[in-house]
Structures are given as C-alpha cells and as structure tokens.
C-alpha cells in the first residue's frame, strides 16, 4: 500500500526505507506560473500561494508543501524593501543596517506587525486546513547568523565579525529573538518543520574554526528554542568538514550541495542526520528529460539506500527559469527509480561508475 507523503518522509527521517524516496522539490515562484500571475501579484495574497502550492504538489507529486515566499520577506519586517523581478526570486533592495552603530539600538521587530510574514502564516494555516497531517508543510527561517548578509551586506558583515565582536554579538542577540519567534509562529500556524537557512555557516563561506565559535554557537542558542524539527540548509554551500558539527546542533536534516559527493556525505552523516539534495538547480534549467533522469538515478544510487535521504535540488529553491518539462522528468524519474528496494543500483553503477 502506498504511503502518504508524511508517512514516507517520517520513515526516511527515521533512517528507514519508505515505499519510495521522498521528493522534496522546493518550488516557490513556479506557483505564479501555474496561476498565470506575475511573481509580485502571486506573493501579494496568501490564497494565491495556497492554491499554487497545492497545484505544484499534485502536478509534480512532491512530498512536501513549501510555505517559503522569498528570503527578503524577513528583511521587510526589519524595515527593508523588496524588488520584484519578472523571472526570479524577489531581491532584498539594499541594506537596512547602513552603519554598524545602528546595531547598538537595534530591536527585533514583532512578527504580528509584519504584513509579509502575516501572509506566510495565513498560507501555512490554509495549507494545513487542506492537507491536515498527510503532507509535511515546510516553513522557513533564515538563521540569525546568515540574516545580516541581507541586513547589511556580506562584506560589511564579515568586517563586523572580524573587527567588532561586541557589536556582532549584539546583532546576534537581536536576530536570535526574531528568528525564534518567527519559526515558532510558523509551527503554531501548522508548519511541520522549519528549514533553517544558514549559508554563511557553510565552509564555502567561513572556515570550520570560525563556524564553531559563530554559526554553530548561534544554532545551539536557536534550535533548542524552536518547538519543532528543523532542517539546516546551506543554500548550495559546502558542508562536508562540518557535517558532524551541524548534527550536534540537533537538526534533523541537512541540505547539501551539488559541489560535494552525495555518497561521501551520506557516509559522513552516519545516520545522525538525513540529507536533502543535491540536484544542480542551475544546470537543471537546460536539462533534457534524459539528463534529468540520469541526475535523479545518480543521486538515488549514491544516497537512497537505508532511508535518511530526501531527493531535491541543492539550493533550497528551484529557479523559476527551470521549465515544467524538466520538473516533470525529475518527478517521473523519482517515481520510477525511487521505489525501494532500489535493486537496480548495483547494475546501473557498473555502467555509470
């Protein structure tokens, strides 16, 4: 008997083999295309996103609903503005912290006062009313440690970390309160889990030694206060040298990059965290159906055995420019080749070492 997406996902997260590998295509702006709306119009009403997510879930037979709008929506709560473009994710239109001195008096904004965050919560409530406990609803909170990239710009943020440790800590305190409140509001609205985006903690961005005293320290102060399971996502950054450290923060899932080998990551995860990934979302734009099928088979062959694996792309959001045909090909390949016990793997790997 076929499992529900929730049963399938919980089995995989319990490091058991479900009926098939869960498909976590994290789709956002594609909902606008389904509804024939511009991206800006689509995200202006929770009803649009509810309908868009449900259509995408049915069309691509995904195993989750994704309540994420766009990253800049959190910075809107801090007084920032968003620039909408026609074919991609809305952009954070400049920093809200223009001088480090502003940090001294920075107060975290109330979730209830932020219109954009309110729409996300309405979306989660609407999705929950439609699917109950049959499909996981994934909420998103940007890590307090990574949020400053949008709040003040990456270069100025690195300068702050290295040159002004006291102000860095002050910023973390404000951000931590915001992130915890935001994540818990989504869980209270009906989200099943929170995707904790933390690309600055990736070893693509900072070395492990710095992660241990900054990003990991922050995660340890945040994740235990979030009243539900979390997935830590590095938005296509590398994690191999810190995978064990990330597991130590108590997260359940790690989103991994196409830049790293999935089999090596699976071995390093050692059953402590499940992996989400790692299809290349940028290349995906120009994949043929055959290339999509090959990429799906390769990922499943490397990481599918024994559960602990959710198939998805590697950035935490499928680019809007990826055509529907590619997504349908991925979905079909996941359905065909993701069925356990995956007894095709050995023969396939002989031909595709």
Stretch touching other proteins by CB under 8 A, among 11-19, 48-56, 111-119, 283-291:
283-291
Residues 85-144 contacting other proteins, CB under 8 A: 85, 87-89, 91-94
Beta carbon of residue 160, minimum distance to other proteins (angstroms, whole number): 12
Stretch touching other proteins by CB under 8 A, among 30-38, 148-156, 186-194, 246-254:
148-156
Among 3, 10, 35, 158, which residue interacts with other proteins (rule: CB under 8 A)? Answer: 158
The smaller minimum CB distance to other proteins, of residues 43 and 320, is found at 320
Among 79, 104, 115, 162, which residue interacts with other proteins (rule: CB under 8 A)? Answer: 162
| Residue 282 binding other proteins, by CB under 8 A | yes
Task: Please measure the distance between the N-terminal and C-terminal CA atoms of the chain and give it in whole angstroms.
Answer: 33
Beta carbon of residue 245, minimum distance to other proteins (angstroms, whole number): 14
The smaller minimum CB distance to other proteins, of residues 287 and 337, is found at 287
Beta bridge partners of 279: 313
Among 35, 210, 212, 252, which residue interacts with other proteins (rule: CB under 8 A)? Answer: 210
Residue 271 backbone phi and psi in degrees, to 5: 75, 0
Is 262 within 8 Å of 299 (Cβ atoms)?
A: yes
| Residue 212 binding other proteins, by CB under 8 A | no
| Residue 236 binding other proteins, by CB under 8 A | yes
| Residue 35 binding other proteins, by CB under 8 A | no
Give dist(CA 188, CA 194) in Å, integer: 11
Give dist(CA 135, CA 13) in Å, integer: 14
Query: Distances from the Cα of 22 to the Cαs of 64, 97, 282, in angstroms?
Result: 9, 40, 21
Q: Which residues contact 295 (CB under 8 A, 6 or more apart)?
A: 279, 280, 284, 287, 330
| Residue 154 binding other proteins, by CB under 8 A | yes
Among 45, 238, 305, 339, which residue interacts with other proteins (rule: CB under 8 A)? Answer: 238
Residue-wise over 63-99: b if at least 16 C-beta within 10 A, else e? Answer: bbbbbbbbbbbbbbbbebebebeeeebbebeebbbee
- Per-residue string for binding with other proteins, 69-88, x by CB under 8 A? --------------x-x-xx
Is 238 within 8 Å of 259 (Cβ atoms)?
A: yes
Beta carbon of residue 264, minimum distance to other proteins (angstroms, whole number): 12
Q: Return the ∠ at Cα 236 (arms to 8 and 287), rounded to 5°.
A: 80
| Residue 291 binding other proteins, by CB under 8 A | no
Residue-wise over 155-178: b if at least 16 C-beta within 10 A, else e? Answer: ebbbebbeeeeebbebbbebbbbb
| Residue 280 binding other proteins, by CB under 8 A | yes
Give helix then strand counts, H and E, for the chain: 16, 9
| Residue 204 binding other proteins, by CB under 8 A | yes
Residue 240 DSSP class: G
| Residue 188 binding other proteins, by CB under 8 A | no
The verdict on whether omega for the bond into residue 341 sits within 30 degrees of 0, i.e. cis, is yes
Q: With CB under 8 A as the rule, give the number of residues binding other proteins.
A: 37
| Residue 203 binding other proteins, by CB under 8 A | yes
Beta carbon of residue 267, minimum distance to other proteins (angstroms, whole number): 17
Which tokens sit at 284?
């995906």
| Residue 153 binding other proteins, by CB under 8 A | yes
Give dist(CA 260, CA 282) in Å, integer: 15
Among 321, 324, 336, 352, which residue interacts with other proteins (rule: CB under 8 A)? Answer: 321
The residues of the shown chain that bind other proteins, judged by CB under 8 A, are 83, 85, 87-89, 91-94, 149, 153-155, 158, 161-162, 203-207, 210, 236, 238, 240, 258-260, 280-283, 285-286, 319-321
């Amino acid at each position: 008997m076929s499992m529900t997406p929730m049963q399938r996902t919980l089995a995989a997260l319990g490091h058991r083999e479900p009926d098939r590998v869960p498909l976590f295509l994290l789709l956002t702006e594609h909902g606008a295309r389904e509804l024939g709306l511009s991206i800006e119009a689509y995200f202006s009403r929770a009803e649009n996103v509810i309908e868009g997510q449900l259509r995408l879930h049915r069309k691509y037979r995904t195993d989750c609903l994704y309540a994420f709008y766009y990253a800049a929506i959190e910075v809107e709560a801090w007084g920032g503005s968003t620039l909408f473009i026609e074919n991609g994710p809305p952009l954070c239109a400049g920093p809200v912290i223009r001088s480090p001195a502003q940090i001294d008096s920075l107060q975290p904004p109330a979730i209830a006062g932020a219109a954009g965050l309110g729409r996300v919560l309405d979306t989660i409530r609407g999705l929950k009313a439609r699917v109950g406990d049959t499909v996981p609803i994934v909420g998103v909170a940007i890590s307090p440690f990574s949020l400053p990239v949008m709040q003040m710009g990456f270069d100025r943020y690195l300068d702050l970390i290295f040159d002004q440790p006291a102000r860095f800590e002050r910023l973390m305190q404000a951000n931590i309160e915001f992130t915890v409140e935001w994540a818990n509001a989504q869980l209270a609205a009906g989200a099943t889990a929170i995707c904790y985006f933390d690309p600055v903690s990736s070893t693509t961005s900072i070395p492990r030694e710095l992660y241990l005293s900054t990003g990991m320290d922050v995660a340890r102060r945040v994740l235990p206060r979030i009243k539900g399971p979390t997935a830590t996502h590095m938005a296509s950054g590398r994690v191999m040298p810190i995978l064990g450290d990330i597991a130590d923060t108590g997260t359940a899932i790690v989103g991994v990059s196409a830049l790293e080998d999935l089999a090596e990551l699976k071995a390093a995860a050692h059953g402590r965290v499940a992996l989400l990934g790692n299809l290349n979302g940028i290349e995906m734009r120009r994949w043929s159906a055959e290339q999509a099928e090959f990429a799906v088979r390769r990922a499943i062959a490397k990481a599918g055995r024994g559960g602990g694996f959710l198939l998805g792309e590697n950035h935490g959001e499928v680019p809007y420019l990826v055509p529907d045909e590619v997504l349908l090909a991925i979905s079909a390949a996941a359905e065909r080749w993701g069925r356990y016990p995956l007894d095709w793997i050995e023969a396939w790997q002989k031909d595709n070492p």
